[in-house]
Chains A and B, each alone.
Chain A
Amino acid sequence: MKIAIASGKGGTGKTTLSTNLAAYLAEKQEVVLVDLDVEEPNSGLFIKAELLREEEKYKMIPQWNPDTCILCGNCQEVCNFHAVLKLGEQIMVFPELCHSCYACSELCPTNSLPMVPQKMGELKHFNSGTLSFIESRLEIGQEQAVPLIRQTNKYVEECFSEQVIKLFDSPPGTSCPVIEATKDADFIILVTEPTPFGLHDLTLAVETMRELKKNFGVVINRHGIGNDEVEKYCSAENIPLLARIPNDRQIAELYSRGELLYKKIPGVKEQLDLLIHHIEGLESAGER
């Protein structure tokens, strides 16, 4: 079972929910939590585990060889991202714009643009008993999160069997990195806050998940602030409201110290139970 935790708006509590849900589920079964917010991974602040493995991750970009190039300009014609430009007597490659599609390289008549690896980030694999934690971090200056998210997903796929519950802490927003982080999930939990801003971005996230034809539900975090428009929206749209995590000063205090909530706040544990109950219902429905 693969569950992605996403949101439209940033800062709604994706990581809070991901880490608490992962640790709580791991009390009974094997779980892997994957931080796919590679531009700013922070699940690791809440997970105490031992580092098992560290890998450098690379993307392939073309490198110009001026000695064999005949300056035909074919490379810039075929590049959809303007990552290769012919400027007078030279070819310039912009690695940040390159999507590693190989078109310029493969279609170069003189093989003057061989693909070479460029480091884009690092993956770390941690473990603590039944809880595994994978975190990928993009290098400073790298602009594309998608290739690293894709490679991280591949790593998880290769390392963990079908039986292991997989939780994916996704990036905020609704753009390409979010699509990449959620497109293979069996279920998406959209975390929002009950404010006009929260509702606005939730509707964008809902549209995205519907476009992807995903099964999803909503968790309201900081329940008690704002208004009840999110609840009204969910009921009007027939979106299951899975849990309501209360707005509570003690939660903020624990969070600020990097501690998990459910062990100390019974209200949070109750809400996680509701969420897990829903997920287990999906699982057994899937098995039938």
Chain B
Amino acid sequence: MKIAFTTKGAKWDAQMDTRFGRAQFILLYDDSTDSFTSIDNSAVENVAHGAGPQTAQKLFDLKPNVLITGNGPGGNAATVLTKAGLKIYIGAGDMTVRQAYEAYKQGELKAF
């Protein structure tokens, strides 16, 4: 299973990014192979409009099964993510990626 995180860094111990559309990085963890990839999303900072749908489109192409984030996506992004059919968990904004993953496994995160 592939899990995507919105984060502020490319490491397992990086802080989560509470924002969805303007998240600095997207980390992708595949627990079946224990492999880890990071996607630099910082270019979105220069985007005045439509950051949400743009980041959502990246996730659409990455095809994770689960998204773990902070505040949750806005309306436009949520429309795209619904089409991608992934499960969204929110409330991990103050955690590190590792903590967020543990919290998710323990069922402690709120479904969006």
Contacts and interface: CB of A to CB of B under 8 A. Distances in A.
Contacts of A96: 76
Contact of A87 (B47, B49, B50, B57): B57
A156 interface: no
Interface in A69-89: 81-83, 85-88
Contacts of A155: none
A30 B66 CA distance: 64
Contact of B50 (A81, A86, A90): A81
A82 B83 contact: no
A97 B80 contact: no
Main secondary structure of the interface of B (DSSP, over half): helix
Contact of B60 (A88, A94, A97): A88
A87 B54 contact: no
Contacts, number: 35
A92 interface: yes
A97 B50 contact: yes
Nearest to A94: B76
A64 B49 CA distance: 21
Contacts of A83: 49-50
A100 to B, nearest CB: 13
Contacts of A81: 49-50
Nearest to A76: B57
Contacts of A86: 57
A279 B53 CA distance: 48
A86 to B, nearest CB: 8
B57 A97 contact: no
A157 B60 CA distance: 47
Contacts of A88: 60
A77 to B, nearest CB: 12
Contacts of B57: 85-87
B44 to A, nearest CB: 10
A82 B60 contact: no
B49 A97 contact: yes
Contacts of B42: none
Contact of A92 (B47, B49, B51, B80): B80
Nearest to A144: B49
Interface string A26-44: 0000000000000000000
Contacts of B53: 82, 85, 92, 94, 97
A82 B49 contact: yes
B79 interface: yes
A96 B76 CA distance: 9
A82 B57 CA distance: 10
Interface of A: 81-83, 85-88, 90, 92, 94, 96-97
Interface of B: 47, 49-51, 53-54, 57, 60, 76, 79-80, 83-84
